[in-house]
Amino acid sequence: MLWSELRDLKDDVDFGTPPRAGAEVTLTVDGHTISVPAGSSVMLAAAKAQRNIPKLCATDTLEAWGSCRLCLVEIEGRSGYPASCTTIVAEGMAVTTQSEQLQRLRKGVLELYLSDFPAEDVDGGWSEFHTALAQGGVTTHPYEPVETHLSTPVDVSNPYFLFDPAKCIVCNRCVRACEEIQGTFALTVQGRGFDSKVAAGQDQPFFESDCVSCGACVQTCPTQALIEKSLFEGDYIRG
């Protein structure tokens, strides 16, 4: 995706997925009629209709991924709760973005993320994850995790930013930014399930990898797992 494709996007609004060019498709989002180009996502249509859908893995500078499962919606005539970022609009589609069931599903997803996130870093956070928690009314979780990533060491090797794996939800945004925006391919996701993690190079410290310190990964991280060192005085201390 080229940056020129983003020319119609607004700086203060994240539409969730990149814009498309094509014939207009008309649908309704929470009863509001909206027309968007064919190939657009339901998430983008909802954003243009000023209907907020929570998201963590989606952003309009990257192609849709559909991993965080927070942007679920209801579509009339379809079963289940599809992810709005990877669902393409169709003529006459009727979308519901807010309902009691959607609220319960999103709350459950956020609680799962929160169960493996440093509790001392919940209050006072300013990331997209913290905003999603506030919007979902989630401050605690009901789980007693047997295993977590909370003791994973922080990578402070890069002189400009640090990586705190305890705050990483493996949404792939940093990996995709490194690939789609910078073209460096320095980051990957290694492992599966609970063992999946973001890794630089061959699972090296960032400074020893092919990372060029462009900052694309830091800019797109939704949880403050990747964050500029200039925001801290002295050494970074989790919490």
Q: Which domain does 223 fall in, by range?
A: 161-231
> Tens digits of per-residue pLDDT, 27-41?
999 999 999 999 999
Residue 80 shares a structural domain with residue 5: yes
pLDDT at 234: 77
Among residues 56, 72, 98, the one where a domain terminates is 98
User: Which band of pLDDT confidence, cut at 50, 70 and 90, is reported for residue 1?
Assistant: very low
Q: With pLDDT > 90 as the criterion, what percentage of the chain qualifies?
A: 88
> Tens digits of per-residue pLDDT, 166-208?
999 999 999 999 999 999 999 999 999 999 999 999 999 999 9
pLDDT at 237: 73
148: in domain: no
Residue 8 shares a structural domain with residue 93: yes
Angle of the 100-114 helix axis to the 128-136 helix axis, nearest 10: 130
Q: What is the 3-state secondary structure (H, E, C) of 77-98?
A: CCCCCCECCCCECCCCCEEECC
For the chain, what is the radius of gyration of the CA atoms?
18
Phi, psi of 206 (to 5 degrees): -55, -45
Chain centre distance of CA 138 = 17
Count of structural domains within the chain: 2
**Neighbour count for residue 118 (Cβ, 10 Å):** 16
Cα–Cα distance measured from residue 80 to residue 70, given in angstroms and rounded to the nearest whole number: 14
Residue 12 has pLDDT above 90, yes or no: no
Residue 78 shares a structural domain with residue 167: no
Cα–Cα distance measured from residue 129 to residue 221, given in angstroms and rounded to the nearest whole number: 10
128: in domain: no
> Tens digits of per-residue pLDDT, 48-103?
999 999 999 999 999 999 999 999 999 999 999 999 999 999 999 999 999 999 99
227: in domain: yes
13: in domain: yes
More confident residue, 197 or 6: 197
Residue 167 shares a structural domain with residue 92: no
pLDDT at 188: 98
